[in-house]
Amino acid sequence: MYAIVESGGKQYKVEAGQLLHTEKLNVAPGETIELDKVVMVKTDDGKVLVGQPYLTNVKVTGTVVEHARARKVLVGQFIPRKGHKTIKGHRQWYTTIKIEKIEVK
């Protein structure tokens, strides 16, 4: 069974036992979180449920594992013949969630 959930403006395909990296959420590590914006679910017997836009009878629960930062992305600007060059780095925060179960009511 898998589900497609929306979090942080992005959609993710999740299964039970999977680690999910999303945009940073304001939830402490170790707490249980419920992802309520479920777009689609495919059950074990092959049945597909599609929401318009979300499913209300499906619940995806998980536990927040950690908050961390991604690898550094370098952004550069170079203007030829002017002697101008700048390089800036950025590290995006993310939250790791361990998906515990997907329930269809």
List pLDDT tens digits, range 69-93.
Answer: 999 999 999 999 999 999 999 999 9
Residue 70 is part of which domain span?
2-104
pLDDT digits (tens, 9 = 90+) for 61-73: 999 999 999 999 9
Count CB-CB contacts under 10 A for residue 87: 9
* Separation of alpha carbons 51 and 97, rounded Å: 23
Domain count, the chain: 1
Phi, psi (degrees; rounded to nearest 5) at 6: -115, 130
Mean pLDDT computed over every residue of the chain: 96
Q: Please report, to the nearest 10 degrees, the dihedral formed by the alpha carbons of residues 25, 49, 58, 11 taken in order.
A: 0
- 10 Å Cβ neighbour count for 24? 13
**In 3-50, which ranges are continuous DSSP H helix?**
none
